[in-house]
Amino acid sequence: MDSVVVLFILLLRPGLRWTAAAEDMSWTYTGLVGQSQWSEHFPECGGSSQSPVDVVTTQTKYDPGLPPLTPLGYSQHGNRPFTLYNNGHTAVIELPDWMSLDGLPWLFSAVQMHLHWGSGGPSYGGSEHTINGQSAEAELHVVHYNSELYPNMSAAMTQRDGLAVLGILIVTGEETNPAFNNIINYLSRVRHANQKVFIPAFDVQSLLPKDLDRYYRYNGSLTTPPCFQSVIWTLFHERVQISKAQLLKMETILYSSKADEADRMLLQDNYRATQPLNHRAVFTSFAAGEVTAIVIGVMCGCVGLAVIVRFIVKTIRSTSSWDVLTNNRAAPMQRMKEPEKAKEKQQEMALNCTSQAERREERSSPPSEP
Ligand SMILES: *[C@@H]1O[C@H](CO)[C@@H](O)[C@H](O)[C@H]1NC(C)=O
Ligand SMILES: *[C@@H]1O[C@H](CO)[C@@H](O)[C@H](O)[C@H]1NC(C)=O
């Protein structure tokens, strides 16, 4: 659907306008206004460049022009606390605008970060993006807007190239990830929707994987209504690890219901199903089959070298001029075992027979060897 049509539909709907209505309209992951109904209320959710997607690694394209991403000011949180907020769909941490991202065609300033998770503990899914059909247990999104072209987040979020989101896949292991405790330890203070607290600021870069050079890149959308197709996605190849206990806390502490609501609803499975790629390309900043390529390359090299060596040996054996040289080098010949020596002699004789003419020529010319 093109954006003019979308705008027309939005204007026709009574009381439904870009941001105000989008924020007010209640939606959920399952139920009455669940994922499959989102597009009835938020037309862009039915668009052709939606997120998340399944990254099929064999169908990605290596783009050597994709530079390493550099977070700027992520570690300089200053003394101002962060705001942690339960918006009924996830836990959001608002980020100061001096945090930004270098390595994209424009400068992008940080706005907020939030998490997506499942409900079944480890290996039951929870991430939004999947790799070759495989889910991770959770996913962190760090949202930025294009501060070079637009004055603020709300102006940027409807524009193509308006947003840049970092996606970090989270898996579980044995070890506690202390960086994630900067968030998880405070979730109990925002158990209900609309609750907000200040938390101590911390180094946001410590939440990211170490390797920021290897990532997947594609054009997509917000993964929640109104699903604007304005996001340059960066999904890191390296996944970060938290403990099973940390995941369990994340999955079981928050409610999607407000404090005054009678029916408490656990905030779980807040991830959207993967969306069709529809001919979009997913680029990689790294050569996916690098190791395989090197192995194959070395093997081809070895075979090639063997062929060349064989050719040279054959050439030596079928010409006689080299024979003169080997005859002059007496020392190495003596080290040979007797049967080998005999064999060599026979070969020499055979070669000598075929090259009498050349020999004569050689003798008549001045000796080239001392
Ligand atoms: C964002 O920028 C637009 C355009 O300059 C302005 O009209 C709007 O009030 C701004 N919104 C906020 C939330 O600052
Ligand atoms: C995203 O879309 C823009 C504008 O159409 C295009 O220039 C860019 O190459 C696309 N990026 C990717 C990763 O497909």
pLDDT tens, residue by residue, 297-309: 566 666 777 777 7
Instruction: Give the nearest ligand 2 atom to 217 CA.
Output: 13
Answer whether residue 278 is part of any domain. yes
What is the Rg, in whole angstroms, of the alpha carbon atoms belonging to the chain?
A: 33
Paired tokens of 285: 């900043």
Residues 324 and 227 in one domain: no
The helix or strand, by DSSP H or E, that contains position 338, with its residue range, turns out to be helix 338-354
CA distance 232 to 78: 28
Answer whether residue 181 is part of any domain. yes
Q: Is the CB of 19 under 6 A from ligand 1?
A: no
Distance of CA 279 to the CA centre of its chain: 19
> How confident is the model over 19-26, as a mean pLDDT?
51
Which one of the ligands is nearest to 280 CA?
Answer: 2
Residues 6+ apart with CB under 8 A from 82: 93, 94, 95, 198, 199, 200, 201, 202
Q: Please give the residue range of the domain that contains residue 309.
A: 299-345
- Grade residue 367 by pLDDT with cuts at 50, 70 and 90: very low
Cβ atoms of 112 and 121 within 8 Å: the answer is: no
Residues 230 and 324 in one domain: no
Residues 117 and 261 in one domain: yes
Q: Is the CB of 60 under 6 A from ligand 2?
A: no
Answer whether residue 228 is part of any domain. yes
pLDDT digits (tens, 9 = 90+) for 214-251: 999 999 999 999 999 999 999 999 999 999 999 999 99
- Look at the chain and report how many structural domains it folds into: 2
Answer whether residue 120 is part of any domain. yes
Cβ atoms of 30 and 207 within 8 Å: the answer is: no
Q: Is the CB of 129 under 6 A from ligand 2?
A: no
Which one of the ligands is nearest to 147 CA?
Answer: 1
Tell me: pLDDT of 61 over 90.
yes
Look at residue 120 in the predicted model and tell me its pLDDT.
82
CA of 107 to the centre of ligand 2 (A): 16
Q: What is the mean pLDDT of the chain?
A: 82
Tell me: pLDDT of 341 over 70.
no
Q: Is the CB of 219 under 6 A from ligand 2?
A: yes
Would you name the residues annotated as active-site residues?
Answer: 89
CA of 99 to the centre of ligand 1 (A): 20
> How long is the chain?
370
Number of alpha carbons in the 13 Å side-chain half-sphere of residue 310 = 6
Residues 215 and 239 in one domain: yes
